[in-house]
Amino acid sequence: MLPSTLLSVVIASLAALEVHGHISIWHPSMYGFNVTDKTFPYDNRPVAPLTNYTFDQWWFHGHLDYPPNPGDIFELPAGKPATTELACNKGLTSYFASSEGGDVRQGDNPCPSDDGSFPSGAMHTVDFNDLKGCALAIAYESDVTKIKPEDFTVFSINQTCVWTRFTDFQVPARMPPCPEGGCHCAWFWIHSQDSGGEQNYMNGFRCNVTGSTSNVALAKSQLPRRCGADPDNGKADAVRGNCTYGAKQPFYWFQAEDNNMFEGTYAPPFYTDLYNFKDGAQDDIFVDSYAEIPTPSANQTVIPTPLEPSSTSAATTTSSTVPPSAPTSQPTDQAPFGTPPGRCSVCKLRRANGTAVRKRSLFGFELHAHSKKGRSFSLWHPF
The mean-pLDDT minimum among 2-6, 62-66, 236-240 falls in: 2-6
Q: What is the mean pLDDT of the chain?
A: 79
Q: In the structure, what pLDDT confidence band is assigned to residue 124 with cuts at 50, 70 and 90?
A: low
The mean-pLDDT minimum among 51-65, 285-299, 322-336 falls in: 322-336
Q: Give the pLDDT score at 118.
A: 62
Rounded CA separation 24/5 (Å): 35
Q: Give the pLDDT score at 323.
A: 34
Average pLDDT over residues 127-141: 89
Cβ neighbourhood burial of 339 (10 Å; 0-12, 13-18, 19+)? exposed
Indicate the residue type of 102: G
Write down the pTM of the prediction: 0.78
Q: Give the pLDDT score at 132.
A: 86
Q: Give the pLDDT score at 316.
A: 40
Q: Give the pLDDT score at 195.
A: 60
Full set of structural domains in the chain with CATH: 17-303 (2.70.50)
Question: Which residue in 61, 56, 55, 54 sits closest to 25, CA to CA?
Answer: 61
Q: In this predicted model, what pLDDT tens digit does every residue of 86-99 receive, in sequence order? A: 999 999 999 999 99
3-class DSSP assignment, residue 348: helix
Q: In the structure, what pLDDT confidence band is assigned to residue 192 with cuts at 50, 70 and 90?
A: confident
Confidence check: pLDDT of 292 > 50 = yes
Q: In this predicted model, what pLDDT tens digit does every residue of 6-26 receive, in sequence order? A: 333 333 333 333 344 699 999
3-class DSSP assignment, residue 319: helix
Confidence check: pLDDT of 196 > 60 = yes
Greater confidence (3 vs 139) lies with: 139
Average pLDDT over residues 193-202: 77
Under a CB-based contact definition with an 8 Å cutoff, are residues 183 and 210 in contact? no
Q: Give the pLDDT score at 351.
A: 33
Q: Give the pLDDT score at 36.
A: 96
Q: In this predicted model, what pLDDT tens digit does every residue of 38-58 receive, in sequence order? A: 999 999 999 999 999 999 999
Q: Give the pLDDT score at 235.
A: 92
Confidence check: pLDDT of 167 > 80 = yes
Q: In the structure, what pLDDT confidence band is assigned to residue 232 with cuts at 50, 70 and 90?
A: confident
Q: Give the pLDDT score at 115.
A: 77
Number of helices and strands in the chain (H, E): 4, 11
Greater confidence (129 vs 30) lies with: 30
Under a CB-based contact definition with an 8 Å cutoff, are residues 30 and 204 in contact? yes
Greater confidence (126 vs 127) lies with: 126
Q: Give the pLDDT score at 127.
A: 61
Confidence check: pLDDT of 311 > 90 = no
Cβ-Cβ contacts under 8 Å for 322 (sequence gap 6 or more): 139, 140, 141, 151, 153, 217, 218, 220
Please compute Rg for the chain using Cα positions.
21
**Is the preceding peptide bond at 162 cis, omega within 30 degrees of 0?**
yes
